[in-house]
Amino acid sequence: MKGLLLRSVGAIRRKWAYLRARSEFTCLGHQWVVREGVVNPSLISASRQFAQKALQAMPPQAKSALELGTGCGMTAVLLALRGLKVTAVDISLPALENAAENAQRNGVRLDLILSDWDAKIPTTQQFDYVVANPPYLRHSSDPAFTAGTQLEQVLACLNAVRNRLAAEGRALLMSSSWSGRDLVLQHIATAGLRVVNTDRKFCGNEWIYLDLCEAE
Ligand SMILES: C[S@@+](CC[C@H](N)C(=O)[O-])C[C@H]1O[C@@H](n2cnc3c(N)ncnc32)[C@H](O)[C@@H]1O
């Protein structure tokens, strides 16, 4: 029994190490580098679906965007390539440095802020479009994916989304069936947001939900 447990823990550790290895890849027509220790969209199809949906759902009149939890910066860079002035936030310094590298590779500028959600964004700053793929697992050995038993990080992220959403702005939130749909919907409502449209896609071993929201 103990041997089985140790083998399972070892397998999970190896899986995380694999998911977080450095790589270079092309996605959505652009080239990206992902450093070791940063969430890698070339290995996680949900991240690629999120980036693609963020482009599709971009409000036509939007001039500014905020990505909360940008990771390697792929979604933020793609929005900047569409002409938006983009601010990208992460709590991880390696992630932000990686986002800077991807912005440079793709010839765009991002305003990068090391912050716990919106804590370090100037108080009055709001955005026409806010996108977030926050941590969505209740338990994980990886802080980039750990949302807490009551999805506390999802709620904290949604409160930041609501704070920073300009009047008439739109927000895109990604979540997973692993989070538990009912609690995510409860947190969306608690944060003062309303879902206007949902895309649900099957991604290997989870359903992902791409909720387009506006302020209540
Ligand atoms: C699921 S990953 C998504 C990364 C990237 N946006 C993507 O779609 O691949 C969540 C990201 O949120 C960041 N994050 C976690 N907690 C955060 C917090 N309190 N404030 C800001 N960013 C946070 C993690 O470092 C990680 O980069």
Find out whether the beta carbon of 176 lies less than 6 Å from any atom of ligand 1: no
Q: Which helix (H) or strand (E) holds 170?
A: strand 165-176
Instruction: Compute, in angstroms, the gap from residue 138 CA to the centroid of ligand 1.
Output: 14
Instruction: Compute, in angstroms, the gap from residue 6 CA to the centroid of ligand 1.
Output: 29
Q: What is the pLDDT of residue 204?
A: 85
Find out whether the beta carbon of 134 lies less than 6 Å from any atom of ligand 1: yes
pLDDT digits (tens, 9 = 90+) for 23-70: 999 999 999 999 999 999 998 999 999 999 999 999 999 999 999 999
pLDDT digits (tens, 9 = 90+) for 64-104: 999 999 999 999 999 999 999 999 999 999 999 999 999 99
Q: What is the pLDDT of residue 5?
A: 62
Q: Residue 14 is part of which domain span?
A: 2-215
List the CATH number of the domain containing 61. Answer: 3.40.50.150
Q: What predicted TM-score, i.e. pTM, was given to this entire model? A: 0.91
Q: Quote the number of domains for the chain.
A: 1
